[in-house]
Amino acid sequence: MAKLFSNTIKRVKTVLGKGTASDDIDLTDPALIDPYIIPRDQHSISRKHISDAALKVMSALHKGGYQGLLVGGGVRDLLLGGRPKDFDIATNATPEQVNRLFRHSRIIGRRFKIVHVRFGREVIEVTTFRGSHQQTEESARGRRPKNQQSARAQSGMLLRDNVFGTVEEDAIRRDLTINALYYTTADFSVYDYTGGLHDLEDKIIRVIGDPETRYREDPVRMLRVVRFAAKLDFEIAAQTAAPIYELASSLADIPAARMFDEVLKLFMSGKAVDVYELMQEFGLFEPLFPQIQPYLKQQHFHTLVMQALENTDTRIRQGKPVTPAFIYAALLWPAVTLRQQQLIKQGVPAVPAMHQAGQEVVSLQQQHTSIPKRFGMPMREIWELQLRLPRRGGRKAERMMENRRFRAAYDFLLLREQAGEDTGGLGKWWTDYQNRSPDQRVAMTANLQDKNSKPRRSRNKPGRNHTTSLSE
């Protein structure tokens, strides 16, 4: 962390007080909250580290008479010395006003409307300042934007959250203190309304406001807590952690489509192992994968899942591609392979049994986290190819290597072996086969006895001589 930033933190602690945290701030009247302002010469954020697209959005908002501030992870990561991939902008303009301001933009979302502004391949997410659901039209800080629409379930979950407000209200509506920091090119300062700089220095993950209330409003916040704790290697504040154990089951109420997106964030961030361990600690994994959790008590399946997540983290660190299809294939494999074995005992042949087992397991999983077809199909192919990999006689091995899913299926085979499954050396055979010349490959397959191939049935009927001759 930059020395300049550390000096700034010391001044924040002096102003806010050593024990100050978001739960010590009076959130009942946001109009009374004054930010701690860190001027341009006292923080480490430089415009050269902010994308041109984000700077253009802030500039256009200012020229249009609106506020435009960089907020959330972009500010947090810049202060920590990182280089953010995404930049989010907060504004007092409504989604409709933002949409009219930028030609290449569109409004998305129903629960809370946001605007995506596109610059080539880069998309900048612009959100209107959120407000309190008990607010009046006027604020001590000024008039609030119109288009106020909200809805809340009996459990306290927010079903619709298009309630707009001021920047002070927006700050206390955000989930974590470290994500409620704002940077503006109007004066190039950083604004802290909730003690986020204090928690950045102390490496603490803290929910803004009462954690139980915030989790009931949106249970996904519990996943964000563990995800950022793992990503940043921060500790979770005791008050923030305490309600999670009791409320983890409320994740079952979240739409499956939204949960799929959350799973990708959890397991494709390069910290999948740490995230998984925290999810298990707080009981957050079972609501997402209820049919898998019981099998993880078996050491073999636990090792397989851990190894899959570790391999994913390694590939991400190396800059190699990863796919949700492979991650889901590993997470659901315990249920699939055991269900297949049950069907085989009932007399179903191995291949149809695998197909049926995959369909049943995926159908149940779709109730908790949806799996788009573009990932679901490759996932099932990875499973079904596990039955074809042992069949290597003749030209079957060469044809297998031409299959577009061969590499993923081969990697999955190695994963099964790493977890302790005995495949009779199949992984090593395929590794050697890929490294041999064409002639050597022919020699490797020439004497293989294909255990899975069926013997050819004779067409000769008993007692009949089918020998032919010219005299017949």
Q: Which secondary-structure segment (H or E) carries 227?
A: helix 220-232
> Per the residue annotation, which of 161, 175, 218, 274 is the catalytic one?
175
Distance between CA atoms of residues 386 and 380, nearest Å: 10
What does residue 420 show for φ and ψ, rounded to 5 degrees?
A: 105, 5
Judge whether 34 counts as a catalytic residue: no
Judge whether 88 counts as a catalytic residue: yes
Distance between CA atoms of residues 124 and 138, nearest Å: 29
Please check whether residue 68 is in contact with residue 79, taking contact to mean a CB–CB distance below 8 angstroms: no
Judged on CB neighbours under 10 Å (0-12, 13-18, 19+), 213 is exposed
Phi-psi region of 241 (alpha: psi -120 to 50; beta: other; left: phi over 0): alpha
> Per the residue annotation, which of 86, 202, 210, 411 is the catalytic one?
86
Residues forming beta bridges with residue 89, ordered by sequence position = 70, 126
What does residue 139 show for φ and ψ, rounded to 5 degrees?
A: -120, 155
Distance between CA atoms of residues 165 and 217, nearest Å: 18
Q: What letter does residue 46 receive in the DSSP assignment? A: -
Per-residue burial over 399-423, b if 16 or more Cβ lie within 10 Å, else e, is: ebeeeebbebbbbbbbbbbbbeeeb
Judge whether 175 counts as a catalytic residue: yes
DSSP string, 62-84: HHTT--EEEETHHHHHHHTT---
Alpha-carbon distance values, 459 to 83, 319, 450, 465 (Å): 70, 56, 22, 11
Please check whether residue 75 is in contact with residue 112, taking contact to mean a CB–CB distance below 8 angstroms: no
Distance between CA atoms of residues 323 and 91, nearest Å: 34
Distance between CA atoms of residues 454 and 182, nearest Å: 68
> Per the residue annotation, which of 88, 161, 199, 274 is the catalytic one?
88
Active site residues: 86, 88, 175
